[in-house]
Structure 1
Amino acid sequence: MSDLSQIVKAYDVRGTVPDQWDERAAEALGVAFTQVLNDTGEPGETVLIAHDMRATGPGLVAAFATGVRAAGRAVIELGLASTDMLYYASGALGLPGAMFTASHNPAQYNGIKMCRSGARPIGQDSGLADIRDRAQALLNGGARPAGPSRAPLTDRRDLLPDYAAHLRKLVDLSTIRPLKVVVDAGNGMGGYTVPSVLGDAALPALPLEIVPLYFELDGTFPHHEANPLDPKNLVDLQRAVVAHSADLGLAFDGDADRCFVIDERGEPVSPSAITALVAARELAKHPGSTVIHNLITSRAVPEIIREHGGEPVVARVGHSFIKAEMARTNAIFGGEHSAHYYFRDFWFADTGMLAAMHTLAALGEQSQPLSILASGYERYVASGEINSTVADQAARVAEVRVAYPEAEADELDGLTLRFPDGAWFNLRASNTEPLLRLNVEGPTEERMTSLRDEVLERVRR
């Protein structure tokens, strides 16, 4: 029997199939999701369901849809989709939805990201814990729904053209200079969405030459994991950018809601720099607006937001927290260190494709190479995220805290320590894996490296 406490995380469902969860659990989650929607007054009588390219997706979707119908709502199946396509559908149609994906996790994983109408997130504090408990009760032998008086129908719709057209309205790429772009889809959903958004013959032609890498949809990830946060998964893209003399490279994760950027030299552009770049563009359109960033982004991000007349607001790591803070503040944009980018014009939801389009526009609207353009947004030296497996996470974090009495402490999300010279680090437990995650930033390479090594020694000893 599935123990849903092991797979229902802070803001989604994530686990291996079939040993941690299976179609029976998916059906129970479909029932529970619909019951929570019904009990909390969610309007409408229909639920959207989509899935990525993983082989287990169609079976889990079918089971989940059975649960939704049993609890009284009809289903619209979108079929293959990126996560931001599901958010687009939820926003454009005003319906709740469930996206079956395990994002960047290996092939044996699958999961669900659920939202209310308008792409409003569902996390532990906004219904996910209730869904978990109701589904677990069903799996433990609880009474199942008696069923509606009439059998709700399942409809099927293809919203890829509408999604592509919507994004093209938000960022005009028609007048930029010609660019050669290498795109690594990692055998994930970017291989499905990029051709439609950037090269659809039904839309106006763009001055882009796309060099595709691994566009074939394959949930076994035969070339590399679809996790651009790990540097080893960027190597093929970096080589291809240089080999093709491309202007930039784009790497998407498995469900294509995140996008990483490589400059013309084959060097990564930090997500903090992209956050600052996009924030400046959005603030030019909406002066004085609020921009959200999580506490792990570079301290250059709030500096640049203020310099462009915006109001920076810091939030916890994780899409449900960022989206909630964006809705609360009516923020125009939000960015995370993990390359999740959120837009008010996209129902406060995250979309890697729209961030990629902003980057293409910023590059193509001027003549300098990306390395020069991005350098204006890179002010400090960062370690990137470093993971450590630790038996007692809380105890190890407490030990690190007392080792630096001179630092200013912040416990918004894990432990953040800030030093008088401007260096800082954040140490936090993963929401989805048994890890401690460390991010370090310093005014110089030497300071960052020294602080990073000190903290890692304490974490891993």
Structure 2
Amino acid sequence: MRIDLHALIKAYDVRGTVPEPFSPDVARAIGTAFAREVVLPAVGDSTGSRPGIVVGHDMRDSGPELVEAFTAGVVALGVDVTRIGLCSTDGLYHASGALDLPGAMFTASHNPAEYNGIKLCRAGARPVGEDSGLTQVRATAQAILDGAAQPPSSAGTGEVHDKETLAEYATFLRDLVDLSAIRPLKVVVDAGNGMGGHTVPAVLGTAAGLPELPLQIVPMYFDLDGTFPNHEANPLEPENLLDLQAAVIAHGADIGLAFDGDADRCFVVDEKGVAVSPSAITTLVGLREVEKEKAAGREATVIHNLITSRAVPDLLSAAGATTVRTRVGHSFIKAHMARHDAVFGGEHSAHYYFRDFFFADTGMLAAMHVLAALGEQSNPLSALGEMYEPYVASGEINSRVADVPAARARVYEAYVTQEGAGQVEVDELDGLTVSHWDGHPQWWFNLRASNTEPLLRLNVEAADHDMMEKVRDDVLLLVRGPAASSEGEETS
């Protein structure tokens, strides 16, 4: 049966169930296509050492076999492969940046056990997305699988090397944020049986041979297990934070941290067991990075996507930063990070990007900044969070609809054409954003379509809870109709 790679290779990465449609044969074809379309063109006609890539994988059982097949496809084109084994996605980005090599991370992030995938990047952890090479990779891999393009027939001339990079990754992060002089903190960490169980002991503990920090780590679900026996490794879903919230209160901890499956995202819980929004974390970390830039006599730019709270640009602009608003999606954020030489970027989904980390996203570095901000003063985290969370947000609400354009048109008609003419601001940077922020009452919403499913995603924010609920409910009534069904919050 023919495999259509459009269902497997999406806008930002490769993601699918194993062994079908994501089989070793598919992984090998993608490896060959990646080498042919991304790696070799970057080398061009230059002479010198042989081109190479770095490859890592998370704790999923299917990872090693897929890595082996992918590697075979790469070396068949004369490209060397440095395998770093078990790692987090930001660990792979660090290796790509430190070694100046393109990279491939085998992970399905927060998806269930039967899934796996690949996150691809160019040298220096630069993104490979739909508009930056992934479309060409998909087309070439599809041609190989269909027999329209012949894969290399040689035994392969590239070489495979193994390298341990965890200690280097931990040292790199420790050098970016000094936690040695903060007050003692008790920190509950829920790794969700994902790669946080591998990286936290190295970065925040002493597993990598680094000096001890004034942190008492209370570990939860640190055993690496790609079947996720305790809960899904997706902290954006509120039910997956319940164990952490209870543990923070039970242990009298100062803070709780939750990582997703590949540990590139980090979610924060305060000492009361209350989740701190990623928008508040974006502001908190962004202000720290802005102050660092100002102290060095440099102007600071911070990137945020259009779903983050209005407090993010308001507070960062007040601190002297230039803020740049982007579409949702890591490839857009990373492109703007590099284009504007931005010091930091944040998304509503708890992806945090740092210029000091090759313009890539790392949940661990964001967590370290939060620990530093908390430990450098005496107030509890809940007090800090209140400073950066002045408004009320709905969270992302997904609605499955039979006709996405028609549902969107109903909302546009009601809020823009009929009632909103001259009273609201409208933009279509990513979906439909309608804002009544300059008037009273203050509110805005964004409604955007999923790239892969018949879903509309709604985010609402207002100055008070009653207005948020009113706008949320009114828009959902227009979107759903009598036969529609809703789905809970979902990661991007």
**Structure 2: runs of 5+ lacking an equivalent:** 45-49, 482-492
* Counterpart residue number, 1:15: 16
Does residue 1:211 correspond to 2:218, yes or no? yes
SS at match of 2:302: strand
Q: Distance in 2 between matches of 1:327 and 1:107?
A: 34
Q: Distance in 2 between matches of 1:362 and 1:66?
A: 46
Does residue 1:221 correspond to 2:228, yes or no? yes
* Counterpart residue number, 1:417: 434
**Counterpart amino acid of 1:5?**
H
Aligned-pair CA distance for 1:390: 2.2
Preserved CA contact (<8 Å) 2:270 2:276 = yes
Q: Percent sequence identity over matched residues?
A: 64
**Counterpart amino acid of 1:347?**
F
Q: Distance in 2 between matches of 1:49 and 1:180?
A: 35
Preserved CA contact (<8 Å) 1:178 1:207 = yes
* Counterpart residue number, 2:120: 114
Preserved CA contact (<8 Å) 2:194 2:222 = yes
Aligned-pair CA distance for 1:397: 1.7
Aligned-pair CA distance for 1:433: 4.8
* Counterpart residue number, 1:444: 464
* Counterpart residue number, 2:367: 356
* Counterpart residue number, 1:294: 305
Change (3 A) 1:445 1:26: same
SS at match of 2:433: strand
Aligned-pair CA distance for 1:436: 2.0
Does residue 1:285 correspond to 2:296, yes or no? no
Q: Distance in 2 between matches of 1:92 and 1:377?
A: 34
Does residue 1:274 correspond to 2:275, yes or no? no
* Counterpart residue number, 2:138: 132
Higher mean alpha-carbon deviation, 323-332 vs 46-55, is at 46-55
Q: Distance in 2 between matches of 1:394 and 1:176?
A: 52
Preserved CA contact (<8 Å) 2:39 2:122 = no
Change (3 A) 1:432 1:188: farther
Q: Deviations over 1:423-454 (max 9, x none)?
A: 11111123455432211100100000111111
Give TM-score scaled by structure 1 length.
Answer: 0.98
Does residue 1:34 correspond to 2:51, yes or no? no
SS at match of 1:404: helix
Q: Distance in 2 between matches of 1:255 and 1:452?
A: 32
**Counterpart amino acid of 1:269?**
V
Q: Distance in 1 between matches of 2:150 and 2:377?
A: 60
* Counterpart residue number, 1:159: 165
* Counterpart residue number, 1:453: 473
Preserved CA contact (<8 Å) 1:91 1:118 = yes
Q: Deviations over 1:107-146 (max 9, x none)?
A: 1111110000000000001000000000000110133343
SS at match of 2:459: strand
Q: Deviations over 1:371-396 (max 9, x none)?
A: 00111111110011112222322332
* Counterpart residue number, 1:179: 185
Aligned-pair CA distance for 1:19: 2.4
Does residue 1:408 correspond to 2:425, yes or no? yes
Aligned-pair CA distance for 1:239: 0.3
Aligned-pair CA distance for 1:149: 8.9
Aligned-pair CA distance for 1:70: 1.2
2:331 equivalent among 320, 324, 329: 320
Does residue 1:69 correspond to 2:75, yes or no? yes
**Structure 1: runs of 5+ lacking an equivalent:** none
Preserved CA contact (<8 Å) 1:242 1:264 = yes
Aligned-pair CA distance for 1:8: 1.2
SS at match of 2:104: strand
Higher mean alpha-carbon deviation, 55-64 vs 400-409, is at 400-409
Q: Distance in 2 between matches of 1:376 and 1:196?
A: 32
Higher mean alpha-carbon deviation, 451-460 vs 187-196, is at 451-460
Q: Distance in 2 between matches of 1:29 and 1:209?
A: 43
2:260 equivalent among 253, 260, 268: 253
Does residue 1:330 correspond to 2:341, yes or no? yes
* Counterpart residue number, 1:340: 351
**Counterpart amino acid of 2:149?**
A
1:265 equivalent among 257, 269, 272: 272
Q: Distance in 1 between matches of 2:177 and 2:29?
A: 40
* Counterpart residue number, 2:489: none
Q: RMSD value over aligned CA atoms?
A: 1.4
Aligned-pair CA distance for 1:318: 0.8
**Counterpart amino acid of 1:447?**
M
Q: Distance in 2 between matches of 1:134 and 1:191?
A: 36
Change (3 A) 1:294 1:132: same
Preserved CA contact (<8 Å) 1:71 1:147 = no
Give TM-score scaled by structure 2 length.
Answer: 0.92
SS at match of 2:42: coil
* Counterpart residue number, 2:382: 371
Does residue 1:435 correspond to 2:455, yes or no? yes
Does residue 1:399 correspond to 2:400, yes or no? no
Higher mean alpha-carbon deviation, 344-353 vs 20-29, is at 20-29
Preserved CA contact (<8 Å) 1:14 1:432 = no
**Counterpart amino acid of 2:8?**
I
* Counterpart residue number, 1:24: 25
Q: Deviations over 1:77-136 (max 9, x none)?
A: 111110000000000000000001111111111111000000000000100000000000
Preserved CA contact (<8 Å) 1:71 1:145 = no
Aligned-pair CA distance for 1:11: 0.9
Does residue 1:95 correspond to 2:124, yes or no? no
**Counterpart amino acid of 1:336?**
E
Q: Distance in 2 between matches of 1:188 and 1:122?
A: 24
Aligned residues: 461
**Counterpart amino acid of 1:355?**
A
* Counterpart residue number, 1:390: 401
Q: Distance in 2 between matches of 1:149 and 1:233?
A: 46
**Counterpart amino acid of 2:363?**
G
Aligned-pair CA distance for 1:147: 5.1
**Counterpart amino acid of 2:317?**
R
Aligned-pair CA distance for 1:308: 1.1
Aligned-pair CA distance for 1:408: 1.9
Preserved CA contact (<8 Å) 1:88 1:163 = yes
